[in-house]
Amino acid sequence: MIRKFLEGMVFGTGFALAFIVIIWLGFSFFVSRSESPSKISLSPLPAVTLGGAERPFHELPLEEQIKKASVIALVRYEKADDGKNKAIIKEFLKKDEGTTIYYNFGDEYPEGSFYPTEGRGQGDGMIIFFVGSPATMRMSVTYTGDRIHALGDLPMELFKKKCEKPNA
């Protein structure tokens, strides 16, 4: 009986060691085939390079965000018959010459549309920052009335003026 027990222990220990070796080999194989950790980006789009240091777009100062954006769109939510709040492009506050963007005035921006949920306010619309050509969305902020809360309650008129003179 003790002999059977010891045989079982030896078998179990061998099985466990084999399992650990297989896992270790598999892990080391996949890690060696991937990029080095310093080159891996969790962002779907590359960060903006400023003076050799990379900073995500949302961490840039507002004036720099406006300057880097190739298109800035003003979107207003409109109720659809099915209750959905459709994000409709009402105005381009900035559009660099020669920039390709696949939206026009009056188009729905589907990624911004939503069905309202109780107790969760979405504001009256949003401002979308696009970068590059063709323009790719990098950041959006919502607004209510004439205030953009995510930008420190910045008045909409002041934001529009900043967009007219991005280098000022």
Map tokens 């003076």 to a residue: 51
Q: Is the pLDDT of residue 48 over 60?
A: no
**For 17-26, 32-41, 43-52, 152-161, which range has the lowest pLDDT when averaged over its residues?**
32-41
Q: Please give the backbone phi and psi of residue 127, each rounded to the nearest 5 degrees, phi first.
A: -115, 130
Supply the mean pLDDT for the chain.
83
Find, among 95, 101, 87, the residue nearest to 140 by Cα.
87
Percentage of the chain modeled with pLDDT above 70: 81
pLDDT on residue 65 = 93
Q: How far apart are the first and last CA of the chain?
A: 88
**91, β-bridge pairs:** 74
Find, among 64, 66, 86, the residue nearest to 76 by Cα.
86
DSSP 111: G
pLDDT on residue 146 = 93
Percentage of the chain modeled with pLDDT above 90: 54
Residue 147 near residue 84, CB atoms below 8 Å: no
Residue 57 near residue 47, CB atoms below 8 Å: yes
More confident residue, 39 or 91: 91
Element (H, E) at 41: none
Find, among 112, 110, 92, 114, the residue nearest to 101 by Cα.
92
**For 50-54, 96-100, 119-123, which range has the lowest pLDDT when averaged over its residues?**
50-54
Q: Is the pTM of this model over 0.85?
A: no
